[in-house]
């Protein structure tokens, strides 16, 4: 059971001191990259600590992307979507992205109506892996974003450090500023 507090990583047979330092360096680089996205690129974004997780979002205009198709990867520009919502879930012990999650996001429009619920798949990006997708929302404004995910199902190395991420997360972000458009 989770204590609600991030579990620090300690040196072990699997995670020697140098390896843990290298993992933290990966996390520090991801932190800087994520801050660049949320603070300089996105229309809005922020990160919170939630139990054993760091959960962040960023909102941009809808953007094109390659999607799997019958003939391999096919470029798909936004159709009627007008926003792109990104989520990153990280380990607060070292800052690294947690892969393999099934993330569901729900948006509530400024008038209180349901603007949709979607699964956010893992997306490759030139410098920031994240979970996300394009959305069709009713218009610009301050939305509520609820992000939910179950505990990851991947196996964990390390008898001393591996008993972590036993519960999922459910985080609500208020006043998420969305500016609609297409990139």
Average pLDDT on 141-170 reads 95
CATH architecture label of 17-178: Sandwich (2.60)
Residues 94, 85: Cα–Cα separation, whole Å: 24
> What's the mean pLDDT in 102-128?
97
Give domain limits for the chain.
17-178
Whether 7 has a pLDDT exceeding 90, the answer reads no
Contact (Cβ atoms closer than 8 angstroms) between residue 168 and residue 148:
yes
What's the pLDDT tens digit per position in 167-180?
999 999 999 999 99
CA 6 – CA 165 distance, rounded (Å) = 9
Cα–Cα distance list, 44 to 9, 82, 86 (Å): 31, 15, 11
């Amino acid at each position: 059971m989770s204590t609600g507090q991030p579990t620090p990583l300690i040196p072990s047979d699997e995670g020697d001191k140098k390896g843990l330092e290298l993992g933290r360096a990966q996390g520090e680089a991801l932190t800087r990259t994520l801050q660049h996205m949320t603070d300089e690129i996105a229309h809005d974004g922020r990160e919170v600590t939630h139990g054993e997780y760091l959960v962040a979002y960023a909102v941009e205009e809808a953007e094109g992307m390659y999607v799997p198709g019958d003939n391999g990867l096919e470029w798909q520009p936004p159709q009627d979507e007008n926003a792109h919502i990104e989520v990153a879930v990280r380990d607060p012990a070292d800052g690294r992205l947690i892969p393999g999650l099934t993330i569901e996001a729900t948006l509530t429009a400024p008038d209180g109506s349901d603007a949709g619920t979607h699964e956010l798949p893992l997306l490759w990006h030139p410098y920031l892996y994240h979970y996300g997708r394009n959305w069709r929302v009713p218009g610009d404004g301050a939305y509520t974003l609820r992000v939910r995910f179950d505990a990851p199902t991947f196996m964990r190395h390390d008898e001393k450090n591996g008993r972590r991420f036993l519960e999922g997360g459910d985080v609500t972000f208020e006043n998420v500023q969305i500016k609609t458009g297409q990139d």
